Structure 1
Amino acid sequence: MKTDKQLKQDVEEELEYDPAIDIADIGVQVNDRIVTLSGHPTSYAEKLAAEQAAQRVSGVKAVVIEMEVRLPQADIHTDEDTASAVRSMLRWMVGLSEEAVKVQVEKGWVTLRGNVPSAHLSHLAERTVGHMRGVLGVSNLIDVSAGHSQQDLAEKISRALQRHAEREAKHIDIKVRDGTVTLTGKVGSLAERAAVRGAAWAARGVHAVIDDLDVQ
């Protein structure tokens, strides 16, 4: 098992390796395999990239976020301009009707509401907006329409896990209730945990995922 010092070095190297991150913006502390990220990234996209980079490192048990986005002056816009830009981006998304998602912006923070046929579209909308300049954060309140029985949905997710993360699938239990998927079992890293969650979210009809997976 890696020591906290080794984990800190690995996380810092992963942050430096990622071209979306300026290592000078991010501070790293590790205690009992729990990584705390602090500092002031210059965009919400950089903040997300830092979170994901830390989660990719083998041996990390959890990630605590204490970062606050500080936009460069050139990226600061009015909420009206941000809302207009967000709506324009969403209109260009394949599979998403213009009326499906409503946009609210308050002090640079974007809230998305509406209803879409799959969790994939919901996450795609969130990711698209999260990588826009001038956005301080995103709250995704988009609902996902149901369309499959609980047993069918569980079987589809199980098959997807076997395709995407075969080793992890053997140690994971999947339960589905009213479109909410609960995952239990053991995985070897946060990256494997993210792969399992991603396979669950990708299934049509899933509108929530409860992650009770343990990282060994």
Structure 2
Amino acid sequence: MTQIQRRPDHHLRTAVTDELAWTPSVNSEEIGVTVTDGVATLSGHVATYPEKEEALRAASRVHGVLTTADKIVVRHGSHVPEDTDLAREAMIVFDRRTVVVPKDSVQVEVRDQVITLRGSVAWHYQREAARRAVAGLPGISGVRNLITIKPSADVIPADLKLKLTAALARHTPGFAQHVEVDVDGGQVTLTGEVRSPAERRSAEQTAWFAPGVTAVDNQVTLAG
């Protein structure tokens, strides 16, 4: 596999700062950036939780950033919603999304404007849909997604491994040769080497698409 040169931290810091400034939904002037060994830490404050998510996504888009650390604080204005009001709004949102997130499958708790989701669903995309459903509610400071995925009795590890390996090959030709898949029940473990953090994330996302997957342990490393 082609070896890649890791970008120096000070170059990454400049690139992340520029990407934040390039992102129109983020007020980059209120966000600080430090980079250590490829890990970008964002600090400072933003006005809304969606802005915080956009800032973290912007940093992760920069080539060479291995992962991000979140130290951003959501700073609300003079009107801070009551936790009971946020909980009520969250349940209204789920009542409208019963096609994607089965009704009564998710429980909501709110404390200090942080929403905690619990319960169980059949697919990873439903768990993510539940998180996205409440992430845009005005006045929240964070979302803790503790929803679990119900293990499926129909999962055959050998079949799941074949299907997942084929999916990886469809998405990026090099994956089939450089990413190994191991399946234990609904647990998928990925190992091997790829060329970029984007490829590493893509491999993990592909694993989550497979039916019956309840957890993904991404041990894929970057060649370098």
Q: What is the TM-score with the length of structure 1 in the denominator?
A: 0.90
Q: Structure 1, residues 11-70: CA drift from partner, whole Å, max 9, x if none?
A: 112112222311112111123333221111222222222222211111123322222222
CA distance in structure 2 between the aligned counterparts of 1:133 and 1:155, rounded to whole angstroms: 43
Q: Which of the numbers 113, 118, 121 marks the counterpart of 1:116? A: 121
Distance, in Å, in 2 between the alignment partners of 1:92 and 1:127 is 13
The change in CA–CA distance for 1:83 and 1:171 in structure 2 (over 3 A counts) is: same
Query: For 1:1-150, what aligned pairs fall within 5 Å after superposition?
Result: 1=5, 2-74=7-79, 76-93=80-97, 94-147=99-152, 148-150=155-157
Gaps of at least 5 residues in structure 2 are none
CA distance, structure 2, for counterparts of residue 170 and residue 44 of structure 1: 39
CA contact (8 A) 1:119 1:203 kept: no
Distance 1:129 1:156, change over 3 A: farther
SS at match of 1:200: helix
1:137-162 deviations in Å (ceiling 9; x for gaps) = 11112121223222222223222222
Question: C-alpha offsets along residues 90-149 of structure 1, whole Å, 9 cap, x if unaligned?
Answer: 222223222111111111111111121111111111122223222211111212122322
Aligned partner (choices 155, 167, 172) of residue 160 of structure 1: 167
With 159-168 and 51-60 compared, the bigger mean Cα shift is at 159-168
Q: RMSD in angstroms over aligned alpha carbons?
A: 1.8
Aligned to 2:221: 214
* Cα distance, 1:104–1:8 mapped onto 2, change above 3 Å: same
- Aligned counterpart, 1:202: 209
**Change over 3 Å in CA distance of 1:13–1:95 after alignment to 2:** same
Identity among equivalent positions (%) equals: 36
Q: Distance in 1 between matches of 2:25 and 2:191?
A: 32
Q: TM-score, normalised by structure 2?
A: 0.87
State the number of aligned residues: 215
| Distance change (3 Å), C-alpha of 1:97 and 1:70 | same
Q: Which structure would you say has the larger Rg?
A: 2
1:185 and 2:192 equivalent? yes
